[in-house]
Amino acid sequence: GENVEQHPSTLSVQEGDSAVIKCTYSDSASNYFPWYKQELGKRPQLIIDIRSNVGEKKDQRIAVTLNKTAKHFSLHITETQPEDSAVYFCAASLNSGYALNFGKGTSLLVTP
């Protein structure tokens, strides 16, 4: 089955700096890669996603890049703010309607 690895497990940055979280996956058949943000005690919420026919996608301060050959994808957050502090999960899936295979999460702390 699919195995998703995520690094780092914790990340601390100063407000205004950039944060990068990296994930690798094992199943070359995976073609959907979402990123979820989960605040303490809350539900995971989708912040951005990318499909395998796209190499990069950007939404305001958040961007995701995908390298299908190397089987890795990354989340980039620019101009970080304290409210970006949360746990971020990457995931991989075969397609729409299939299970998401999650990484172990990255706890991001943005200090003022």
Partner 1 sequence: EAGVVQSPRYKIIEKKQPVAFWCNPISGHNTLYWYRQNLGQGPELLIRYENEEAVDDSQLPKDRFSAERLKGVDSTLKIQPAELGDSAVYLCASSSDDRGTGSYEQYFGPGTRLTVT
Question: Which residue, 43 or 70, has its beta carbon nearer to partner 1?
Answer: 43
CA angle 40, 64, 100 (to 5 degrees): 60
Choice between 73 and 102, CB closer to partner 1: 102
Q: With binding defined as CB under 8 A, does residue 54 bind partner 1? A: no
Does residue 103 contact residue 33 with C-beta atoms inside 8 Å? no
Binding mask 4-43 for partner 1 (x = CB under 8 A): x-x-------------------------x-x-x-----xx
CA dihedral 32, 35, 40, 41 (to 10 degrees): -20
Confirm or reject binding of residue 89 to partner 1 (CB under 8 A): yes
Nearer to partner 1, 36 or 73 (CB): 36
The Cα–Cα gap between 65 and 48 comes to: 11
- Give the whole-angstrom CA distance, residue 45 versus residue 36: 5
**Could you list the residues that contact partner 1 (CB under 8 A)?**
4, 6, 32, 34, 36, 42-46, 49, 51, 89, 91, 93, 95-105
